[in-house]
Amino acid sequence: MALVLTDTLSRPLRTLRISVTDRCNFRCPYCMPREVFASDYPFLDRSEILRYEEIERLVAIFVAHGVRKVRLTGGEPLLRRGLPDLVRCLARIPGVEDLALTTNGALLADLAKPLKEAGLQRLTVSLDTLDAPKFKELSDSEVPLNRVLSGLEAARSEGFGPIKLNCVLQRGINDDEIVALAKFARQGGYILRFIEFMDVGTQNGWKLDAVVPADEVLAKVSEVWEIEPVQEPLAGRVADRWRYRDGSGEFGVIASVTKAFCGGCDRARLSAEGSVYSCLFAGSGVNLKTALRNGSSDSDIGAIIANTWKRRDDRYSELRGAETTPARKVEMFHIGG
Ligand code: SAM
Ligand code: SF4
Ligand code: SF4
């Protein structure tokens, strides 16, 4: 029987997001702006990032402390060599009930099949625009939009449940595509999630007036289709879910700026170099790699995890703007979204 660990706000530890690399083949300005993350940027060395067997060991320890859902992310997780091998190992850990991955989709056409065969259950693909020139600008890469769309198609034909699409909206950049993206998702059977542009990290030049509020998204979608909310328990909830009344699926809005809600946040985040963070906006993490590499036992490492969670009082999004918010925040590509 796994422990039920709760933090100072009675939130259980249920979800672990693992960044498997800090590198990426895109340079989305809201995450890794090229001016900062140029070719001389000191990304982590191979020896600094957790090896697959270390991740596997940590996941088993996290599961013993209540984790049931695991999501692989990054950086771009598909850049990490042999990722299906890691998926295969994690899928075999008893207690991992949900194994998912978030990707920019650039390498998905080739990897959808091996990932599915390895036991990956769910996929989220980031897609901010359906316009090819705009895609080039938003991803600041040479990868054409079509490659992501073929990756999505490949994933769909592998039979990954309903695939989610993450779309970060920015004022004046892609807020004119809300209906087009919703239509694309409805037709393809994808669950689109509109995400409010967040002030993660310190490098993305975030400004409140670039945020497209969730209410505006709902108003635009409901001008075209009749929608109704999907009721669900608060625990672990991230997105507000809405369904189309004509039965053609659902979409979500992640309103972490305008309707922040930390009350159901059950997520811990493991960085590529093996530190655990209790909040997306945390200023620092707790190092687990040293313990992994100095011969500590599983119960020693479990105690570090338990202490970190028990002390947790994060609710950054709810406090955003208050004086208590940290000045130094971890970058998103370190710990994934
Ligand atoms: N590279 C993968 C991808 O883009 O899907 C996985 C890592 S990425 C950090 C995870 C998610 O975070 C993506 O859907 C991305 O759009 C989102 N994201 C990154 N920066 C963001 C920001 N400033 N505000 C909101 N979402 C952001
Ligand atoms: Fe890379 Fe994902 Fe960040 Fe874009 S959002 S730069 S794809 S890690
Ligand atoms: Fe969870 Fe921190 Fe986001 Fe609140 S701000 S939902 S505590 S990650």
- Nearest residue by C-alpha to atom 11 in ligand 1: 337
What's the confidence (pLDDT) of residue 236?
67
The per-residue pLDDT for range 156-179, each reduced to its tens digit, is 999 997 999 999 999 999 999 999
- Higher-confidence residue of 231 and 55: namely 55
Q: Which atom of ligand 2 is nearest to the CA of 168?
A: 5
CA of 200 from ligand 3 middle (Å) equals 11
pLDDT, position 180? 98
* Type of residue found at 232: E
Between 330 and 299, name the one with better pLDDT.
299
- pLDDT at position 331 is 67
Average pLDDT over residues 328-336: 64
Q: Is 104 within the bounds of a domain?
A: yes
DSSP 238: -
**In the structure encoding, which two tokens stand for residue 324, read together?**
């208590």
pLDDT in tens, 104-114: 999 999 999 99
Ligand 2 pocket residue status of 333, Cβ below 6 Å: yes
State yes or no: pLDDT of 181 exceeds 70. yes
Amino acid identity of 67?
V
pLDDT value at residue 316: 86
- pLDDT digits over 298-327, tens only? 999 999 999 999 999 998 888 875 544 555
* CB-based contact 304:288 (threshold 8 Å): yes
Question: Would you give the DSSP letter of residue 208?
Answer: G
Going from the Cα of 5 to the center of ligand 2, the distance in angstroms, rounded, reads 31
- Whose CA is closest to atom 7 on ligand 3? 315
Instruction: For ligand 1, say whether the CB of 252 is within 6 Å of any of its atoms.
Output: no
Instruction: Please indicate whether residue 30, judged by its CB atom, sits closer than 6 Å to ligand 2.
Output: no
pLDDT digits (tens, 9 = 90+) for 19-61: 999 999 999 999 999 999 998 999 999 999 999 999 999 999 9
**Taking Cα atoms as reference points, which of 152, 102, 98, 108 lies closest to residue 130?**
152
Taking each continuous run of H as one helix and of E as one strand, the counts in the chain are: 11, 12
Q: Counting beta carbons within 10 angstroms of the beta carbon of residue 38, is it exposed (0 to 12), middle (13 to 18) or buried (19 or more)? A: exposed
Min mean pLDDT across 110-124, 276-290, 323-337 is at 323-337
Q: What are phi and psi of 6, to 5 degrees?
A: -125, 155
Whether 145 has a pLDDT exceeding 90, the answer reads yes
Cα gap 80→18, rounded to integer Å: 12
63 assigned to some structural domain? yes
For residue 120, being part of any structural domain is answered with: yes
Tokens of 177: 């595509």
316 lines ligand 3 (CB under 6 A): yes
Domain presence at residue 287? yes
Coil vs helix vs strand at 12: strand
CB 26 near ligand 2, within 6 Å: yes
- Output the pLDDT for position 85: 98
Is the C-beta atom of 265 inside 6 A of ligand 2? no
What's 277's domain CATH number? 3.20.20.70
238: burial class by Cβ within 10 Å (0-12, 13-18, 19+)?
Answer: middle
Query: Do 250 and 242 touch, CB atoms closer than 8 A?
Result: yes
Q: What was the pLDDT predicted at 318?
A: 84
> Is 10 inside a domain boundary?
no
In a domain, 149, yes or no: yes
Quote the ligand 2 centre to 3 CA distance (angstroms).
Answer: 34
The mean pLDDT of 130-138, rounded to a whole number, is: 97
Per-residue pLDDT tens digits for 67-95: 999 999 999 999 999 999 999 999 999 99
Using a 6 Å cutoff on CB, does residue 112 contact ligand 1?
Answer: no
pLDDT at 323: 46
Please report which ligand is nearest the Cα atom of 102: 1
Cα dihedral 323, 32, 263, 313 sign: negative
- Considering the domain boundaries, does residue 233 fall inside one? yes
DSSP state letter for 79: G
Tell me the Ramachandran region of residue 234: left when phi exceeds 0, alpha when psi lies from -120 to 50, beta otherwise. alpha
Mean pLDDT of the chain, nearest integer: 92
Establish if 7 belongs to a structural domain.
no
Residue-range definition of the domain harbouring residue 252: 15-335
* CA 23 to ligand 2 centroid distance, Å: 9
With a 6 Å cutoff on the Cβ, whether 281 touches ligand 3 is yes
Mean pLDDT of 196-208: 81
Ligand 3 atom showing the smallest separation from residue 261 Cα = 6
Count of domains forming the chain:
1
Q: Ligand 2: which of 19, 27, 30, 31 to mutate, judged by most atoms within 8 Å of the beta carbon?
A: 31
- Evaluated on CA atoms 151, 157, 159, 165, the torsion sign reads positive
